[in-house]
Amino acid sequence: MTQFVVDDLTAQLEQFRGNNYAVLQALQTTQEMIGFVPDSALDVVAKVCNVSRAEVYGVFTFYSDFKNTAPAKCIVKVCVAEACQANGSRELVDELHNQGFDVHTAKQNGNVQMEQTFCLGNCALGPAALINGQPIARATAKKLIEKANEVAR
């Protein structure tokens, strides 16, 4: 991160100064501001919240929504909770994987990143998915790939 970004981030996190219970909020603020949490931002959060870098890293790695690289233009999340599994989400994940999307490790395929998540609250219309936060009901590989490619353009 450039010094400008570090200074700006520090200013944004000032509200959490000395509050060792605010690490999660500080990480959320960082990701909202930058789009992801770069490694150097962990040091900024640790300093502001007056905790060790290890404590910040522990919170960062515990929550799967925190990313340490810039996100893809299009992020697809496929629900793999029990209700969606009963409606075919595991088969959907396998089909996406066979189509070249590394759903298991959430690596980018061009401008599209697909990942698994648990419960999107749309159980009755499973398998459920999100494309950049927008819900997709009764998701199929064809539907997700078409919409994802449309969004990623």
- The CATH number assigned to the domain holding 79 equals 3.40.30.10
For residue 87, give every residue at least 6 positions away whose Cβ sits within 8 Å of its Cβ, in sequence order, or none: 126, 127, 138
Q: pLDDT-based confidence at 58, cuts 50/70/90? A: very high
Domain assignment present for 69:
no
Do residue 55 and residue 85 come from a single domain? Answer: no
Q: For residue 27, report the phi and psi dihedrals to the nearest 5 degrees.
A: -65, -40
Do residue 96 and residue 46 come from a single domain? Answer: no
Do residue 12 and residue 51 come from a single domain? Answer: yes
Give pLDDT tens digits for 38-48: 999 999 999 99
Give pLDDT tens digits for 79-106: 999 999 999 999 999 999 998 887 766 6
Structure tokens at 55: 């404590």
Give the count of domains, the chain: 2
Do residue 78 and residue 147 come from a single domain? Answer: yes
Show the domain range for 19. Answer: 3-62
Prediction pTM value:
0.72
Least confident of 16-20, 78-82, 114-118: 114-118
Among 42, 62, 82, identify where a domain stops: 62
Exposure of 77 by Cβ count < 10 A (0-12 exposed, 13-18 middle, 19+ buried)?
buried
Do residue 41 and residue 90 come from a single domain? Answer: no
